[in-house]
């Protein structure tokens, strides 16, 4: 019998295996993909944002609503602990101007290689291309290249991921084996579809800078990108949850200018000026001017009305992009099906990572919670043993 079985080789699963292995348990990790950490590596392709360097109260506020078990896990393994953990793997970190924390190497691959070396030193075994298919007579059943395999363990940690980026292993297929305990998945940190007019095509791929985005009571100064599929990027992700739940998003295209000053400047412009010239004279670059034309059409000629519209331009979209395109997901294994991180319906089985029903923005919060819950689930398993 394998002492401990971890299913899923993402950050949560690897952290659980690390804790269990360091405690002296024999650990087997099973993953459906050909290698470990596929989504982790993709997340770090343009810079691995491990955590966020901010006070704990502000950090925890990003996870509202925050179940007690998640709250405890994050308090026990928060931003400072994540930074120390990375340094312990020989990967120094730095904090960017926005408070985001990255490895000096930026990419995920050096950190993952160092982590896998440590796990190898703890005699943690990795089985790849092993796809979990629920339970059979109390043992975990896998489809493997060599045919069906069952594994019986004293402790099982499920770290099966959410339901986005299926090509990297997070396909949500595990919900078929825990249907009564699972809340439907929803996209999180995702783009939104827009049915653009033809004149917008020349702006595809362009960043929209110098704007303020307001959704409900929240307002941010951030960039986003216009793409053939719609709108995406940090500014959109910051409000994606509220937008998904039905709140309207507006843009202030000139956040550093007072509305009255804009109206006065518009009133002084020659009466024969075209609308495109008027927008250019106000200081709008081509992509912001195009968005004003796209979402404000027909633009009012009255200076006061036009100034009002430019300061609160409604964003017209057709809803979230598909679930598999989302950076992360909400929904998953419900907290009321758990005692801490233990599945009440399956004694000896624990869960961690994005498969749990929690949600957080980008900016270092996602990876931190995966690491923290993987650690907490393993510690709870050790305590129970």
pLDDT at 208 over 60: yes
pLDDT at 218: 93
- Given pLDDT bands bounded at 50, 70 and 90, which one contains residue 72? very high
Residue 198 belongs to a domain: yes
Domain check: are 58 and 138 in the same one?
Answer: yes
Residue 321 belongs to a domain: no
> What would the mean pLDDT of 336-348 be, rounded to a whole number?
97
Residue 319 belongs to a domain: no
> What would the mean pLDDT of 221-237 be, rounded to a whole number?
96
- Report which of 183, 138, 151, 240 is spatially closest to residue 355, judged by C-alpha positions: 183
Which class for 227: exposed (0-12), middle (13-18), buried (19 or more C-beta within 10 A)? middle
pLDDT at 175 over 70: yes
Q: Supply the DSSP symbol for 322.
A: P
pLDDT at 272: 86
Domain check: are 337 and 293 in the same one?
Answer: no
Residue 132 belongs to a domain: yes
Domain check: are 145 and 176 in the same one?
Answer: yes
E-assigned strand segments in 40-84: 51-52
Q: How many Cβ atoms from other residues are within 10 Å of residue 245's Cβ?
A: 11
> What would the mean pLDDT of 293-318 be, rounded to a whole number?
96
pLDDT at 356: 98
Domain check: are 80 and 120 in the same one?
Answer: yes
Residue 369 belongs to a domain: yes
What gap in Å lies between CA 247 and CA 215, rounded to an integer? Answer: 6
pLDDT at 44 over 90: no
Domain check: are 204 and 338 in the same one?
Answer: no
Domain check: are 46 and 17 in the same one?
Answer: yes
- Report which of 60, 15, 13 is spatially closest to residue 33, judged by C-alpha positions: 13
Q: How many domains does the chain have?
A: 2
pLDDT at 213 over 90: yes
Helix, strand or coil, per DSSP, at residue 295: helix
Which contacts of 60-65 are long-range, i.e. CB under 8 A and separated by 24 or more positions? 62/360, 62/361, 62/363, 62/365, 63/358, 63/359, 63/360, 63/365, 63/369
Q: Residue 12 belongs to a domain with what CATH number? A: 3.50.50.60
291-312 exposure pattern, b = at least 16 Cβ within 10 A, e = fewer: bbbbbbeebeeebeebbebbbe
Domain, as residue range, for 233: 192-314
Residue whose pair of structure tokens reads 């929690």 in the numeric block:
358
pLDDT in tens, 100-159: 999 999 999 999 999 999 999 998 999 999 999 999 999 999 999 999 999 999 999 999
Domain check: are 253 and 280 in the same one?
Answer: yes
Residue 356 belongs to a domain: yes
Residue 152 belongs to a domain: yes
pLDDT at 232 over 60: yes
Residue that terminates a domain, selected from 314, 335, 356: 314
Domain check: are 147 and 166 in the same one?
Answer: yes
Domain check: are 267 and 205 in the same one?
Answer: yes
pLDDT at 1: 57
pLDDT at 334 over 90: yes
Mean pLDDT of the chain: 96
Residue that terminates a domain, selected from 314, 347, 369: 314
Domain check: are 240 and 374 in the same one?
Answer: no
Domain check: are 310 and 356 in the same one?
Answer: no
pLDDT at 47: 87
Domain check: are 130 and 276 in the same one?
Answer: no
Residue 156 belongs to a domain: yes
Residue that terminates a domain, selected from 265, 283, 314: 314
pLDDT at 26: 95
């Amino acid at each position: 019998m394998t002492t401990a079985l971890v299913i899923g080789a993402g950050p949560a699963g690897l952290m659980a295996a690390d804790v269990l292995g360091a405690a002296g348990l024999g650990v087997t990790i099973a993953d459906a993909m050909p290698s470990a950490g596929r989504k982790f590596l993709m997340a770090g392709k343009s810079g691995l944002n491990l955590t966020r360097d901010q006070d704990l109260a502000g950090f925890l506020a990003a996870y509202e609503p925050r179940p007690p078990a998640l709250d405890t896990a994050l308090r026990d393994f928060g931003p400072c602990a994540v930074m120390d953990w990375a340094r312990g793997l020989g990967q120094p970190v730095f904090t960017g101007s926005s408070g985001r924390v990255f490895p000096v190497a930026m990419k995920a691959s050096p950190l993952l290689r160092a982590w896998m070396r440590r796990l190898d030193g703890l005699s943690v075994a990795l089985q790849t291309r092993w796809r979990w298919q629920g339970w059979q007579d109390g043992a975990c059943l896998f489809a493997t290249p060599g045919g069906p395999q069952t594994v019986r363990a004293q402790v099982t940690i499920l770290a099966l991921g959410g339901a986005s980026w299926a090509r990297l292993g997070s396909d949500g297929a595990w919900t078929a084996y825990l249907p009564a305990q699972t809340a439907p998945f929803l996209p999180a940190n995702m783009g939104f579809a827009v049915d653009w007019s033809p004149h917008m095509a020349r702006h595809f791929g362009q960043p929209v800078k110098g704007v303020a985005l307001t959704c409900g009571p929240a307002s941010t100064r951030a960039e986003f990108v216009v793409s053939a599929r719609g709108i995406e990027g940090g500014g959109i992700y910051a409000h994606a949850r509220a937008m998904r739940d039905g709140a309207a998003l507006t843009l202030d295209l000139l956040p550093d200018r007072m509305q009255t000053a804009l109206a006065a400047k518009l009133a002084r412009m020659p009466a024969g000026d075209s609308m495109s010239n008027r927008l250019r004279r106000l200081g709008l670059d081509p992509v912001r001017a195009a968005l004003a034309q796209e979402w404000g059409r027909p633009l009012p000629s009255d200076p006061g009305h036009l100034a009002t519209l430019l300061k609160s331009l409604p964003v017209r979209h057709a809803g979230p992009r598909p679930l598999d395109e989302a950076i992360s997901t909400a929904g998953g294994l419900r907290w009321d099906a758990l005692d801490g991180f233990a599945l009440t319906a399956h004694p000896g089985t624990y869960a961690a990572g994005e498969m749990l029903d929690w949600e957080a923005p980008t900016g270092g919060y996602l990876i931190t919670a995966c690491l923290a819950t993987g650690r907490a689930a393993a510690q709870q398993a050790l305590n129970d043993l």
